[in-house]
Structure 1
Amino acid sequence: MTHLVRSLGITGETHATGSLRRHFPGLKLETSVLVVPTSDQENEFISQFILTYGRVWIDCNDLEVEGTVKCREGNEDVAYRNWYSSQPNNRNGDEDCAVLTTMWGSIKGQWHEVNCYSPLPALCKMAGRPVFHV
């Protein structure tokens, strides 16, 4: 049976990863990281957790090299992906950051690339702690 480790928290309205410190000076980024699901189970759990928020930032972006999306939990690369079929698409040439969405009908629970400056909640967790414990 899977149990939630109490490490998740919605930080509130913010911009993407590079702006977390500026918007949340009290957030201890040394011990908190943006969430990136690492499995279908984590993705589903997070989708249920954020239902009232609609969309939250996850730590996936192609800011370094357009078209090469990197997903990280802190300094660790995450291989899991759950992009909607047309994503990432860099629509209008200014989409570089990812959100997990529970809105937009058919793409619920999937990832969508958006402009990094969209004011959206960020879902953070304590670094080094799993979202799930099996």
Structure 2
Amino acid sequence: MVANKNYKGELSVDNFRDKGEKGLPGAPGGKGKAGTVCDCGRYRKVVGQLDISVARLKSSMKFVKNVIAGIRETDEKFYYIVQEEKNYRESLTHCRIRGGMLAMPKDEVVNTLIADYVAKSGFFRVFIGVNDLEREGQYVFTDNTPLQNYSNWKEGEPSDPYSHEDCVEMLSSGRWNDTECHLTMYFVCEFVKKKK
């Protein structure tokens, strides 16, 4: 006989039981199926490609979120402010990868539209698609057209035509200022509307 303890850990007379005899051993079980060799390298590659796709989707979602947050348009183009601080070259690349260009305000209507957009968004300055990177003192739009018909320089600007201020920012007033290209700030992309 074996004495058992009750739930409080005390010995109880009611908890004595006889232990039965050990049973006979059973028949051995059947043989299992053979295992397969894992082709893990292929799966790792697929998982790696999925990681890249997820990263691209996240980037695209951020882009869409920015666009939904605010966009301006004319009859021919869409404009939107990218709320990620980048230097000038990164800004150019960001817009191009998405099928656009850094915004080029080539007339007063577009310049006013962008300036109003910047001011209403609560920003002070943004990069626009104007620079003199190729030839010092000769500013061009990012499509390499010269500033012949329109510019909107702040009084006294461009102030440093023979230094390192080769890129252009638009202030919330709509005025342009030459600035250093390595600085980071928000920027405006433009996209040509597709003809129907």
In structure 2, relative to structure 1, the CA distance for the partners of 1:114 and 1:30 (3 Å cut) is: same
- Confirm whether residue 110 of structure 1 aligns to residue 181 of structure 2: no
Letter of the 1:13 partner, please give it: E
Decide which structure has greater helix share: 2
In structure 2, relative to structure 1, the CA distance for the partners of 1:21 and 1:97 (3 Å cut) is: closer
1:19: how far off? Answer: 2.2
Per-residue CA deviation, residues 54-85 of structure 1 (Å, 9 max, x unaligned), is 1111111111111111123xx36263211112
| Contiguous gaps of at least 5 residues in structure 1 | 103-107, 130-134
Asked if the contact 2:104–2:130 (Cα under 8 Å) also holds between the matched residues in 1, the reply is yes
Decide which structure has greater strand share: 1
2:97 pairs with one of 29, 41, 49: 29
Per-residue CA deviation, residues 102-125 of structure 1 (Å, 9 max, x unaligned), is 1xxxxx211000111111111001
Normalising by structure 1, report the TM-score.
0.73
Asked if the contact 2:92–2:101 (Cα under 8 Å) also holds between the matched residues in 1, the reply is no
**% identical aligned pairs:** 23
Q: Which has the higher contact order (CA 8 A, sep 6+)?
A: 1
Residue 96 of structure 1 is matched in structure 2 by: 166
Q: Whose Rg is larger?
A: 2
The number of residue pairs the alignment matches comes to 116
| Contiguous gaps of at least 5 residues in structure 2 | 1-71
Residue 66 of structure 1 is matched in structure 2 by: 136
